[in-house]
Amino acid sequence: MQCDLSNKTVLVTGAGQGIGRAIALAFAEAGANVAINDRDMPGDLPELLEQCARTSDEAIFCQADVSRADAVSEMVEQVSDELGVIDVLVNNAGISQPKPFLQLSEGDWDQTLGVNLKSVFLCSQQVLPGMLKKGGGCIINIASELGYLGRAGFAPYTAAKGGMITLTRSMAREFAPTIRVNAIAPGPCDTEMLRSEIKTPEQMEQELDIPMQRFGKPEEIAATAVFLASEHAGFYCGDVLSPNGGSLMR
């Protein structure tokens, strides 16, 4: 299935590494103009932009903390000025700070909810007026299977991802049919974040206790995002696609 997103402007938050990076590259491969956001500048930024530019018309980097309203406003203004009105927003930015519930501080909670959930509100609210004026657009929120399952030691993260899923459905109801809002809830994927959380062989065994017996690949999640942004997904509204290797069947 060919997904041609030429002449589309796409903003991907948290795209410096992992799933976000794969999504940015996949949209570039589909011909879109890509704005890559991250809080920190990737060490290989020139190579990343060059790789995107091979197949897209243009690629830019926007350094911004998407949990801050002023930073989000400046980022969206930069993208609009340099690439045009944003057609597709991928809310991917996220952090995970595993910690037992009784050891969580208010700061831990606020930071995790700010990056993982508040950012979806801030970025979407800034981007939606341009989409509505243009008469169309697409928002894709990157949630997690843990938004359904929960997990001990990950209370802020799972609360944020569960909130993202219901926020997706609320936004979809409010802005359809002009704007399509959907989510992706991946299972365990081979990313820097997941690898940093695995401390013991027992944890690795638990992660791989799924029917497909492997981690997902960031590129597999990226392909789902490109599909949701394409004309082939025109009847998807408030849906949550979950590439998870069968882990939700456990």
- What is the number of helices (H) and of strands (E) in the chain? 10, 7
- Crossing angle between the packed helical segments 218-229 and 18-29, to the nearest 10 degrees: 50
Backbone angles phi, psi at 34, to 5 degrees: -120, 130
Q: Is 157 designated active site?
A: yes
Token digits for 211? 């029917």
| Set 154, 157, 215, 227: catalytic member | 157
Q: How far apart are the first and last CA of the chain?
A: 30
187 close to 206: Cβ distance less than 8 angstroms = no
Query: Quick one: which of 121, 98, 185, 112 has its CA closest to 148?
Result: 185
Q: Which amino acid is at 233?
A: A
Question: What gap in Å lies between CA 250 and CA 206, rounded to an integer?
Answer: 12
Please give the C-alpha separations between residue 19 and each of 143, 164, 185, 188, in angstroms, as whole numbers. 11, 17, 12, 11
φ, ψ for residue 249, nearest 5 deg? -85, -10
Could you tell me the strand order of the sheet in which 9-12 lies? Answer: 59-63, 33-38, 9-12, 88-91, 137-142, 179-184, 240-241
Q: Quote the CA–CA distance of 202 and 154 in Å, as a whole number.
A: 17
Residues with a known catalytic role: 157
